Amino acid sequence: METAVAPTTEQLTLEEKLAQLMFVRMGSNLPPIVTASDDEQRVAELLERCPIGGLLLFNGVWPHVRDSLTRLQAKSRVPLLVSADLERGAGQQVGGLTVFPHARAFAQLGDQAESSLRDAISITAREALQAGVQILFAPVADANTNPQNPIIATRAYGEDPAEVARLVAVVVEAAGQAGALAAAKHFPGHGDTSQDSHDGQPCVDRPADELHACELPPFRSAIQSGVPLIMSAHVSYPALDPTGEPATFSKPILTDLLRGELGFTGAVCSDSLLMAGARDRYQSEGQMAAAALLAGVDMLLDLADPAAAVAEMAELVRSEQIPEARVNEAVGRVLKLKAKIANQAPHADPIPAEQVQEHKRTAAAIAKAAIRVVSPAGGAPPRLAPDKPTTVVLMKPFNLPSDPAQQPLAAAIQQRIPSAQYFEFGPDVDADLRDQAVAAAQNGGQLLVAIIAKPAAWHAFGMTDPQRQLADDLAQLDGAVIASLGVPTILQDFPAAVPKLCTYSDVPDSQTGLADLLCPTA
Protein backbone atom coordinates (compact mmCIF):
# COMPACT_ATOMS: atom_id res chain seq x y z
CA MET A 1 0.00 0.00 0.00
CA GLU A 2 1.67 3.19 -1.16
CA THR A 3 1.48 6.28 1.00
CA ALA A 4 1.23 9.70 -0.60
CA VAL A 5 4.08 12.07 0.15
CA ALA A 6 3.19 15.14 2.18
CA PRO A 7 3.97 18.42 0.37
CA THR A 8 6.10 21.17 1.85
CA THR A 9 4.59 24.29 3.37
CA GLU A 10 5.69 26.31 0.35
CA GLN A 11 3.66 24.08 -1.98
CA LEU A 12 0.37 24.94 -0.27
CA THR A 13 -1.85 27.99 -0.68
CA LEU A 14 -2.91 29.96 2.40
CA GLU A 15 -6.32 28.24 2.47
CA GLU A 16 -4.70 24.84 2.04
CA LYS A 17 -2.32 25.53 4.90
CA LEU A 18 -5.16 26.57 7.19
CA ALA A 19 -7.16 23.51 6.16
CA GLN A 20 -4.24 21.30 7.19
CA LEU A 21 -4.74 22.50 10.76
CA MET A 22 -8.36 21.26 10.80
CA PHE A 23 -9.26 17.81 12.15
CA VAL A 24 -12.85 16.65 11.69
CA ARG A 25 -14.78 13.84 13.35
CA MET A 26 -15.78 10.79 11.32
CA GLY A 27 -18.57 8.75 12.87
CA SER A 28 -20.31 9.33 16.19
CA ASN A 29 -21.19 7.33 19.29
CA LEU A 30 -23.51 10.10 20.48
CA PRO A 31 -27.06 10.55 19.15
CA PRO A 32 -27.57 10.36 16.25
CA ILE A 33 -25.22 7.36 16.26
CA VAL A 34 -23.30 6.95 12.99
CA THR A 35 -20.61 4.41 12.23
CA ALA A 36 -17.37 5.75 10.79
CA SER A 37 -17.95 3.89 7.53
CA ASP A 38 -21.48 5.29 7.20
CA ASP A 39 -19.89 8.73 7.52
CA GLU A 40 -17.37 8.08 4.74
CA GLN A 41 -19.33 9.84 1.98
CA ARG A 42 -19.76 13.03 4.00
CA VAL A 43 -16.02 13.16 4.68
CA ALA A 44 -15.22 12.44 1.02
CA GLU A 45 -17.41 15.36 -0.06
CA LEU A 46 -15.74 17.61 2.52
CA LEU A 47 -12.29 16.71 1.16
CA GLU A 48 -13.31 18.01 -2.26
CA ARG A 49 -14.10 21.42 -0.73
CA CYS A 50 -11.59 21.62 2.09
CA PRO A 51 -8.31 19.64 2.24
CA ILE A 52 -8.43 19.03 5.99
CA GLY A 53 -5.40 17.77 7.86
CA GLY A 54 -6.96 14.76 9.45
CA LEU A 55 -9.81 12.90 11.10
CA LEU A 56 -11.06 12.07 14.58
CA LEU A 57 -12.43 8.54 14.37
CA PHE A 58 -15.49 7.47 16.36
CA ASN A 59 -17.56 4.29 16.24
CA GLY A 60 -15.60 2.32 13.67
CA VAL A 61 -16.24 -1.34 12.91
CA TRP A 62 -13.41 -3.72 12.02
CA PRO A 63 -12.51 -4.39 9.22
CA HIS A 64 -14.88 -2.01 7.36
CA VAL A 65 -13.29 1.08 8.87
CA ARG A 66 -9.93 0.15 7.41
CA ASP A 67 -11.43 0.02 3.92
CA SER A 68 -13.17 3.38 4.43
CA LEU A 69 -9.99 5.07 5.60
CA THR A 70 -7.99 3.58 2.73
CA ARG A 71 -10.45 5.07 0.22
CA LEU A 72 -10.38 8.46 1.93
CA GLN A 73 -6.58 8.52 1.98
CA ALA A 74 -6.65 7.87 -1.78
CA LYS A 75 -8.98 10.85 -2.28
CA SER A 76 -6.83 13.24 -0.26
CA ARG A 77 -3.99 15.02 -2.09
CA VAL A 78 -2.24 15.50 1.25
CA PRO A 79 -2.10 12.35 3.43
CA LEU A 80 -4.58 12.43 6.30
CA LEU A 81 -3.58 12.01 9.92
CA VAL A 82 -6.20 9.78 11.50
CA SER A 83 -6.63 9.94 15.27
CA ALA A 84 -8.91 8.40 17.88
CA ASP A 85 -9.47 8.32 21.63
CA LEU A 86 -7.83 4.97 22.36
CA GLU A 87 -7.11 5.23 26.07
CA ARG A 88 -8.66 1.76 26.49
CA GLY A 89 -7.34 0.07 23.39
CA ALA A 90 -8.22 0.13 19.70
CA GLY A 91 -11.54 -1.54 20.51
CA GLN A 92 -12.64 1.63 22.31
CA GLN A 93 -13.42 3.16 18.90
CA VAL A 94 -13.17 0.19 16.52
CA GLY A 95 -15.64 -2.55 17.33
CA GLY A 96 -14.13 -6.02 17.03
CA LEU A 97 -10.66 -5.02 18.24
CA THR A 98 -9.24 -5.24 21.76
CA VAL A 99 -10.55 -3.27 24.74
CA PHE A 100 -8.34 -2.82 27.81
CA PRO A 101 -9.45 -1.64 31.27
CA HIS A 102 -9.14 2.01 32.30
CA ALA A 103 -5.70 3.42 33.10
CA ARG A 104 -6.29 3.28 36.84
CA ALA A 105 -6.48 -0.52 36.66
CA PHE A 106 -2.87 -0.78 35.46
CA ALA A 107 -1.65 1.11 38.51
CA GLN A 108 -2.92 -1.77 40.69
CA LEU A 109 -0.59 -4.32 39.12
CA GLY A 110 2.49 -3.52 41.24
CA ASP A 111 5.68 -4.92 39.76
CA GLN A 112 3.76 -5.99 36.65
CA ALA A 113 2.32 -2.54 35.91
CA GLU A 114 5.00 -1.39 33.48
CA SER A 115 5.28 -4.64 31.52
CA SER A 116 1.49 -5.05 31.32
CA LEU A 117 1.04 -1.46 30.21
CA ARG A 118 3.78 -1.82 27.61
CA ASP A 119 2.05 -4.93 26.22
CA ALA A 120 -1.31 -3.14 26.16
CA ILE A 121 0.02 -0.10 24.32
CA SER A 122 1.92 -2.24 21.83
CA ILE A 123 -1.26 -4.16 21.06
CA THR A 124 -3.29 -0.95 20.88
CA ALA A 125 -0.83 0.67 18.49
CA ARG A 126 -0.58 -2.36 16.24
CA GLU A 127 -4.34 -2.78 15.97
CA ALA A 128 -4.88 0.95 15.47
CA LEU A 129 -2.33 1.15 12.67
CA GLN A 130 -3.87 -1.87 10.98
CA ALA A 131 -7.22 -0.09 11.10
CA GLY A 132 -5.71 3.07 9.62
CA VAL A 133 -5.41 5.12 12.82
CA GLN A 134 -2.00 6.68 13.48
CA ILE A 135 -2.58 8.97 16.50
CA LEU A 136 -3.58 7.48 19.85
CA PHE A 137 -5.08 10.20 22.02
CA ALA A 138 -3.29 8.69 25.00
CA PRO A 139 -1.82 8.75 27.58
CA VAL A 140 -3.89 10.73 30.05
CA ALA A 141 -1.08 12.55 31.86
CA ASP A 142 -3.34 14.06 34.52
CA ALA A 143 -2.76 13.19 38.17
CA ASN A 144 -6.27 12.74 39.57
CA THR A 145 -5.71 14.69 42.79
CA ASN A 146 -9.37 15.69 43.21
CA PRO A 147 -11.56 12.73 44.30
CA GLN A 148 -14.64 14.60 43.00
CA ASN A 149 -13.21 14.92 39.49
CA PRO A 150 -16.09 13.98 37.16
CA ILE A 151 -14.16 13.54 33.91
CA ILE A 152 -10.67 12.15 34.69
CA ALA A 153 -11.04 9.71 37.62
CA THR A 154 -10.24 6.16 36.38
CA ARG A 155 -8.80 7.57 33.14
CA ALA A 156 -5.73 8.64 35.12
CA TYR A 157 -2.99 6.30 36.30
CA GLY A 158 -3.42 7.57 39.84
CA GLU A 159 -3.09 10.52 42.21
CA ASP A 160 0.68 10.56 42.73
CA PRO A 161 2.33 12.75 40.05
CA ALA A 162 5.55 10.70 40.18
CA GLU A 163 3.68 7.42 39.65
CA VAL A 164 1.64 8.91 36.83
CA ALA A 165 4.83 10.28 35.25
CA ARG A 166 6.44 6.82 35.35
CA LEU A 167 3.56 5.13 33.55
CA VAL A 168 3.08 7.99 31.09
CA ALA A 169 6.67 7.45 29.95
CA VAL A 170 5.92 3.77 29.33
CA VAL A 171 2.96 4.66 27.10
CA VAL A 172 4.89 7.21 25.05
CA GLU A 173 7.83 4.87 24.53
CA ALA A 174 5.70 1.81 23.68
CA ALA A 175 3.54 3.71 21.22
CA GLY A 176 6.59 5.13 19.46
CA GLN A 177 8.30 1.76 19.26
CA ALA A 178 5.17 0.33 17.62
CA GLY A 179 5.08 3.14 15.05
CA ALA A 180 2.10 5.11 16.40
CA LEU A 181 1.92 8.70 17.66
CA ALA A 182 1.07 9.23 21.32
CA ALA A 183 -0.61 12.41 22.56
CA ALA A 184 -0.25 13.32 26.24
CA LYS A 185 -3.32 15.08 27.64
CA HIS A 186 -4.69 17.42 29.06
CA PHE A 187 -1.99 20.08 29.48
CA PRO A 188 -1.19 21.52 31.97
CA GLY A 189 -3.36 19.12 33.98
CA HIS A 190 -7.07 18.30 34.33
CA GLY A 191 -6.75 16.17 37.45
CA ASP A 192 -7.74 18.74 40.07
CA THR A 193 -10.99 19.91 38.48
CA SER A 194 -14.45 19.36 39.90
CA GLN A 195 -16.25 20.21 36.64
CA ASP A 196 -16.38 18.52 33.23
CA SER A 197 -14.94 20.81 30.54
CA HIS A 198 -17.31 19.22 28.02
CA ASP A 199 -20.22 21.15 29.50
CA GLY A 200 -18.62 23.97 31.51
CA GLN A 201 -15.52 26.01 32.23
CA PRO A 202 -13.39 24.40 34.97
CA CYS A 203 -10.82 26.40 36.90
CA VAL A 204 -7.85 25.11 38.91
CA ASP A 205 -7.14 27.91 41.37
CA ARG A 206 -3.92 26.69 42.98
CA PRO A 207 -0.61 28.52 43.48
CA ALA A 208 1.94 28.21 40.68
CA ASP A 209 4.37 26.20 42.82
CA GLU A 210 1.66 23.60 43.54
CA LEU A 211 0.75 23.39 39.86
CA HIS A 212 4.38 22.82 38.97
CA ALA A 213 4.70 20.14 41.63
CA CYS A 214 1.39 18.31 41.08
CA GLU A 215 0.31 18.86 37.47
CA LEU A 216 3.46 19.22 35.38
CA PRO A 217 5.66 16.19 36.28
CA PRO A 218 3.79 13.73 34.02
CA PHE A 219 4.03 16.15 31.10
CA ARG A 220 7.73 16.67 31.75
CA SER A 221 8.10 12.89 31.67
CA ALA A 222 6.19 12.66 28.39
CA ILE A 223 8.38 15.33 26.80
CA GLN A 224 11.57 13.66 28.00
CA SER A 225 10.28 10.41 26.48
CA GLY A 226 9.83 12.09 23.10
CA VAL A 227 6.06 12.50 22.96
CA PRO A 228 5.16 13.95 19.52
CA LEU A 229 1.86 15.58 20.53
CA ILE A 230 0.40 17.25 23.60
CA MET A 231 -3.30 18.07 23.94
CA SER A 232 -4.42 21.23 25.71
CA ALA A 233 -7.07 21.46 28.42
CA HIS A 234 -10.12 23.73 28.25
CA VAL A 235 -9.34 24.67 31.85
CA SER A 236 -8.21 27.99 33.33
CA TYR A 237 -5.27 28.33 35.73
CA PRO A 238 -5.14 31.88 37.16
CA ALA A 239 -1.70 31.32 38.66
CA LEU A 240 -0.31 30.52 35.21
CA ASP A 241 -2.39 33.05 33.26
CA PRO A 242 -4.03 35.81 35.35
CA THR A 243 -6.43 36.65 32.49
CA GLY A 244 -8.30 33.41 33.23
CA GLU A 245 -8.09 32.21 29.63
CA PRO A 246 -8.37 28.41 29.37
CA ALA A 247 -5.09 26.73 28.46
CA THR A 248 -6.28 26.12 24.89
CA PHE A 249 -6.43 29.90 24.37
CA SER A 250 -3.54 30.92 26.63
CA LYS A 251 -0.22 31.96 25.15
CA PRO A 252 1.43 32.12 28.61
CA ILE A 253 0.53 28.44 29.10
CA LEU A 254 0.98 26.92 25.63
CA THR A 255 3.86 29.05 24.35
CA ASP A 256 5.72 30.46 27.36
CA LEU A 257 5.32 27.47 29.70
CA LEU A 258 4.98 24.44 27.42
CA ARG A 259 7.47 25.47 24.75
CA GLY A 260 9.63 27.99 26.58
CA GLU A 261 10.04 26.46 30.02
CA LEU A 262 9.38 22.76 29.33
CA GLY A 263 11.08 22.73 25.93
CA PHE A 264 8.36 20.90 23.98
CA THR A 265 9.05 20.95 20.24
CA GLY A 266 6.26 18.72 18.94
CA ALA A 267 2.72 19.58 17.87
CA VAL A 268 0.08 20.98 20.21
CA CYS A 269 -3.48 19.85 19.54
CA SER A 270 -6.59 21.27 21.14
CA ASP A 271 -9.13 19.18 22.94
CA SER A 272 -12.45 19.01 21.09
CA LEU A 273 -13.54 22.51 20.09
CA LEU A 274 -17.15 21.39 20.29
CA MET A 275 -16.83 21.29 24.09
CA ALA A 276 -18.54 24.00 26.11
CA GLY A 277 -15.23 24.93 27.72
CA ALA A 278 -14.17 26.23 24.30
CA ARG A 279 -17.11 27.02 22.03
CA ASP A 280 -19.14 29.13 24.48
CA ARG A 281 -16.44 31.80 24.52
CA TYR A 282 -16.63 32.84 20.85
CA GLN A 283 -19.23 34.00 18.35
CA SER A 284 -17.85 31.88 15.50
CA GLU A 285 -15.65 28.85 14.97
CA GLY A 286 -13.26 31.00 12.96
CA GLN A 287 -12.72 33.35 15.89
CA MET A 288 -12.28 30.41 18.25
CA ALA A 289 -9.81 28.67 15.94
CA ALA A 290 -7.84 31.88 15.45
CA ALA A 291 -7.56 32.43 19.22
CA ALA A 292 -6.31 28.88 19.75
CA LEU A 293 -3.80 29.20 16.92
CA LEU A 294 -2.42 32.47 18.28
CA ALA A 295 -2.08 30.91 21.74
CA GLY A 296 0.05 28.06 20.40
CA VAL A 297 -2.31 25.32 19.17
CA ASP A 298 -1.16 23.67 15.92
CA MET A 299 -3.99 21.18 15.36
CA LEU A 300 -7.61 22.33 15.72
CA LEU A 301 -9.77 19.39 16.68
CA ASP A 302 -13.45 18.78 16.09
CA LEU A 303 -14.67 21.82 14.17
CA ALA A 304 -18.23 21.54 12.88
CA ASP A 305 -17.66 23.65 9.74
CA PRO A 306 -13.95 23.64 8.84
CA ALA A 307 -14.48 25.27 5.44
CA ALA A 308 -16.12 28.32 7.04
CA ALA A 309 -13.40 28.49 9.68
CA VAL A 310 -10.70 28.39 6.99
CA ALA A 311 -12.35 31.22 5.05
CA GLU A 312 -12.67 33.39 8.16
CA MET A 313 -9.10 32.70 9.28
CA ALA A 314 -7.72 33.44 5.81
CA GLU A 315 -9.26 36.92 6.01
CA LEU A 316 -7.65 37.40 9.42
CA VAL A 317 -4.27 36.45 7.96
CA ARG A 318 -4.69 38.82 5.03
CA SER A 319 -5.63 41.63 7.40
CA GLU A 320 -2.53 40.76 9.48
CA GLN A 321 -4.52 39.85 12.57
CA ILE A 322 -2.94 36.39 12.36
CA PRO A 323 0.76 36.38 11.34
CA GLU A 324 1.28 34.06 8.39
CA ALA A 325 4.52 32.98 10.06
CA ARG A 326 2.42 31.46 12.86
CA VAL A 327 0.33 29.56 10.29
CA ASN A 328 3.51 28.28 8.61
CA GLU A 329 4.91 27.19 11.96
CA ALA A 330 1.77 25.21 12.80
CA VAL A 331 1.36 23.58 9.39
CA GLY A 332 5.06 22.72 9.41
CA ARG A 333 4.54 20.67 12.57
CA VAL A 334 1.52 18.90 11.06
CA LEU A 335 3.43 18.04 7.89
CA LYS A 336 6.36 16.80 9.96
CA LEU A 337 4.04 14.30 11.68
CA LYS A 338 2.73 13.17 8.31
CA ALA A 339 6.25 12.69 6.99
CA LYS A 340 7.15 10.67 10.08
CA ILE A 341 4.20 8.33 9.56
CA ALA A 342 4.89 8.03 5.82
CA ASN A 343 8.49 7.00 6.48
CA GLN A 344 7.47 4.12 8.74
CA ALA A 345 6.87 0.61 7.47
CA PRO A 346 3.32 0.29 6.10
CA HIS A 347 0.89 -1.88 8.04
CA ALA A 348 -0.84 -3.42 5.04
CA ASP A 349 -1.53 -6.97 6.18
CA PRO A 350 -4.57 -7.44 8.44
CA ILE A 351 -3.99 -8.91 11.88
CA PRO A 352 -4.94 -12.61 11.83
CA ALA A 353 -8.13 -13.36 13.76
CA GLU A 354 -6.28 -15.72 16.08
CA GLN A 355 -3.85 -12.91 16.96
CA VAL A 356 -6.71 -10.60 17.87
CA GLN A 357 -8.09 -13.33 20.12
CA GLU A 358 -4.70 -13.60 21.82
CA HIS A 359 -4.74 -9.82 22.32
CA LYS A 360 -8.16 -10.10 23.94
CA ARG A 361 -6.95 -12.82 26.29
CA THR A 362 -4.14 -10.51 27.37
CA ALA A 363 -6.65 -7.74 28.09
CA ALA A 364 -8.86 -10.10 30.10
CA ALA A 365 -5.94 -11.25 32.22
CA ILE A 366 -4.92 -7.66 32.97
CA ALA A 367 -8.48 -6.67 33.91
CA LYS A 368 -8.85 -9.58 36.34
CA ALA A 369 -5.41 -9.09 37.89
CA ALA A 370 -6.23 -5.44 38.69
CA ILE A 371 -9.26 -6.21 40.91
CA ARG A 372 -8.63 -5.53 44.58
CA VAL A 373 -10.37 -6.21 47.89
CA VAL A 374 -10.43 -2.77 49.50
CA SER A 375 -12.39 -3.42 52.71
CA PRO A 376 -11.84 -5.03 55.08
CA ALA A 377 -8.27 -4.13 54.20
CA GLY A 378 -6.87 -6.55 51.63
CA GLY A 379 -7.27 -10.24 52.05
CA ALA A 380 -8.89 -12.84 49.84
CA PRO A 381 -12.04 -11.92 47.93
CA PRO A 382 -15.37 -13.14 49.30
CA ARG A 383 -16.96 -16.11 47.54
CA LEU A 384 -20.47 -16.53 46.16
CA ALA A 385 -21.58 -20.16 46.51
CA PRO A 386 -23.22 -21.59 43.36
CA ASP A 387 -25.91 -23.41 45.38
CA LYS A 388 -27.23 -20.44 47.41
CA PRO A 389 -29.96 -17.94 46.44
CA THR A 390 -28.16 -15.02 44.83
CA THR A 391 -29.24 -11.49 43.98
CA VAL A 392 -27.20 -9.11 41.85
CA VAL A 393 -28.05 -5.40 41.72
CA LEU A 394 -26.13 -3.18 39.31
CA MET A 395 -26.35 0.62 39.16
CA LYS A 396 -25.07 2.81 36.35
CA PRO A 397 -24.96 6.62 36.57
CA PHE A 398 -26.29 7.26 33.06
CA ASN A 399 -27.80 5.48 30.08
CA LEU A 400 -26.04 5.47 26.72
CA PRO A 401 -27.64 4.58 23.38
CA SER A 402 -24.84 2.07 22.88
CA ASP A 403 -25.52 0.25 26.15
CA PRO A 404 -26.43 -3.45 25.89
CA ALA A 405 -29.78 -4.64 27.21
CA GLN A 406 -27.91 -5.88 30.28
CA GLN A 407 -24.40 -5.17 31.50
CA PRO A 408 -21.94 -8.09 30.99
CA LEU A 409 -21.95 -8.80 34.73
CA ALA A 410 -25.42 -10.32 34.40
CA ALA A 411 -24.39 -13.10 32.02
CA ALA A 412 -21.07 -13.62 33.81
CA ILE A 413 -22.76 -14.28 37.18
CA GLN A 414 -25.66 -16.28 35.74
CA GLN A 415 -23.23 -18.49 33.84
CA ARG A 416 -21.75 -19.48 37.19
CA ILE A 417 -24.94 -19.26 39.26
CA PRO A 418 -27.84 -19.95 36.86
CA SER A 419 -30.48 -19.21 39.49
CA ALA A 420 -29.11 -15.72 40.28
CA GLN A 421 -31.62 -12.88 39.98
CA TYR A 422 -30.26 -9.77 38.26
CA PHE A 423 -31.59 -6.21 38.58
CA GLU A 424 -30.15 -3.21 36.73
CA PHE A 425 -30.89 0.43 37.53
CA GLY A 426 -30.13 3.55 35.56
CA PRO A 427 -30.12 7.02 37.12
CA ASP A 428 -33.91 6.95 37.60
CA VAL A 429 -34.75 4.11 39.96
CA ASP A 430 -38.06 2.50 39.02
CA ALA A 431 -40.06 2.04 42.22
CA ASP A 432 -41.58 -1.35 41.29
CA LEU A 433 -38.26 -2.79 40.17
CA ARG A 434 -36.67 -1.42 43.34
CA ASP A 435 -39.21 -3.25 45.48
CA GLN A 436 -38.57 -6.46 43.55
CA ALA A 437 -34.81 -6.16 44.03
CA VAL A 438 -35.09 -5.47 47.75
CA ALA A 439 -37.51 -8.36 48.23
CA ALA A 440 -35.19 -10.75 46.40
CA ALA A 441 -32.21 -9.56 48.45
CA GLN A 442 -34.11 -9.90 51.73
CA ASN A 443 -34.93 -13.50 50.92
CA GLY A 444 -31.69 -14.68 52.46
CA GLY A 445 -28.75 -15.99 50.51
CA GLN A 446 -26.07 -13.80 48.96
CA LEU A 447 -26.13 -10.31 47.50
CA LEU A 448 -23.80 -8.46 45.15
CA VAL A 449 -24.27 -4.73 44.68
CA ALA A 450 -22.20 -3.43 41.75
CA ILE A 451 -21.83 0.29 41.07
CA ILE A 452 -20.48 1.74 37.85
CA ALA A 453 -18.53 4.85 38.85
CA LYS A 454 -16.73 6.12 35.79
CA PRO A 455 -16.25 9.41 33.92
CA ALA A 456 -17.94 10.07 30.58
CA ALA A 457 -18.24 13.26 28.57
CA TRP A 458 -21.45 15.24 29.10
CA HIS A 459 -22.71 12.77 31.73
CA ALA A 460 -23.14 12.73 35.49
CA PHE A 461 -20.56 11.02 37.68
CA GLY A 462 -21.35 8.75 40.61
CA MET A 463 -24.64 7.57 42.04
CA THR A 464 -27.87 9.55 41.94
CA ASP A 465 -29.71 10.10 45.22
CA PRO A 466 -32.25 7.29 44.56
CA GLN A 467 -29.42 4.91 43.70
CA ARG A 468 -27.52 5.87 46.81
CA GLN A 469 -30.55 5.22 48.99
CA LEU A 470 -31.08 1.82 47.40
CA ALA A 471 -27.40 0.91 47.80
CA ASP A 472 -27.43 2.01 51.45
CA ASP A 473 -30.51 -0.13 52.14
CA LEU A 474 -29.00 -3.19 50.47
CA ALA A 475 -25.66 -2.78 52.22
CA GLN A 476 -27.40 -3.34 55.58
CA LEU A 477 -28.48 -6.86 54.60
CA ASP A 478 -26.64 -10.00 55.67
CA GLY A 479 -24.44 -11.48 52.97
CA ALA A 480 -23.98 -8.22 51.06
CA VAL A 481 -20.87 -7.62 48.95
CA ILE A 482 -20.27 -4.20 47.36
CA ALA A 483 -18.18 -3.72 44.23
CA SER A 484 -17.18 -0.53 42.47
CA LEU A 485 -16.76 -0.87 38.72
CA GLY A 486 -14.69 2.31 38.71
CA VAL A 487 -13.29 4.55 41.45
CA PRO A 488 -12.75 3.15 44.95
CA THR A 489 -13.87 6.37 46.66
CA ILE A 490 -17.54 5.57 46.05
CA LEU A 491 -17.19 2.68 48.53
CA GLN A 492 -16.02 4.80 51.47
CA ASP A 493 -19.40 5.54 53.06
CA PHE A 494 -20.65 1.95 53.21
CA PRO A 495 -20.39 0.05 56.52
CA ALA A 496 -16.83 -0.96 57.33
CA ALA A 497 -17.75 -4.60 57.89
CA VAL A 498 -19.21 -5.09 54.40
CA PRO A 499 -16.77 -6.76 52.00
CA LYS A 500 -15.85 -4.35 49.22
CA LEU A 501 -14.02 -4.81 45.95
CA CYS A 502 -12.91 -2.43 43.22
CA THR A 503 -12.29 -3.31 39.56
CA TYR A 504 -11.10 0.24 38.62
CA SER A 505 -12.96 -0.12 35.31
CA ASP A 506 -16.34 -1.16 33.94
CA VAL A 507 -15.17 -2.68 30.64
CA PRO A 508 -16.64 -6.15 29.94
CA ASP A 509 -13.44 -7.94 30.96
CA SER A 510 -13.46 -6.16 34.33
CA GLN A 511 -17.04 -7.25 34.93
CA THR A 512 -16.29 -10.83 33.90
CA GLY A 513 -13.13 -10.79 36.01
CA LEU A 514 -15.19 -9.78 39.04
CA ALA A 515 -17.50 -12.75 38.48
CA ASP A 516 -14.47 -15.04 38.19
CA LEU A 517 -13.12 -13.85 41.53
CA LEU A 518 -16.43 -14.06 43.37
CA CYS A 519 -17.54 -17.42 42.00
CA PRO A 520 -14.58 -19.19 40.42
CA THR A 521 -15.27 -22.22 38.30
CA ALA A 522 -13.44 -25.47 38.91
Give the tens place of pLDDT for each residue, 154-193.
Answer: 999 999 999 999 999 999 999 999 999 999 999 999 988 7
**pTM for this model (two decimals):** 0.94
**Of 244, 245, 247, which is closest to residue 215 (Cα–Cα)?**
247
Instruction: Confirm whether 198 is a catalytic residue.
Output: yes
| Per-residue DSSP letter, 409 | H
Rounded to an integer, the average pLDDT of 440-459 is 83
3-state secondary structure of 253: helix
pLDDT at 198: 52
459 assigned to active site: no
Distances (CA, A) of 485 to 47, 50, 433, 510: 42, 43, 22, 8
Per-residue confidence (pLDDT) for residue 458, from 0 to 100: 47
Residue 508 confidence (pLDDT) above 60 = yes
| R_g of the chain computed on alpha carbons | 24
H-state helical runs in 56-135: 64-75, 103-106, 113-131
Q: What integer pLDDT is reported at residue 197 of this predicted model?
A: 54
The one catalytic residue in 198, 234, 347, 359 is: 198
The total number of residues written for the chain in this structure: 522
Q: Where in the chain are the domains?
A: 9-342, 371-518
**Strand (E) or helix (H) holding 170:** helix 161-177
Catalytic residue among 39, 119, 196, 271: 271
Q: Which residues contact 149 (CB under 8 A, 6 or more apart)?
A: 190, 191, 192, 193, 194, 455
Element (H, E) at 276: helix 276-279
371-518 adopts what CATH topology?
A: Rossmann fold (3.40.50)
For residue 347, pLDDT over 80 is answered with no
Report the alpha-carbon distance of residue 254 to residue 249 in Å, rounded.
8
| Mean pLDDT calculated for residue range 247-263 | 98
CATH of the structural domain 9-342, one choice from 3.10.20.30, 3.30.360.10, 3.20.20.300, 3.90.870.40: 3.20.20.300
CB 95 within 8 A of CB 148: no
| DSSP letter string, 325-391 | HHHHHHHHHHHHHHHHHHTSPP--SPPPHHHHHHHHHHHHHHHHHT-EEEETTSSPPP---TTS-EE
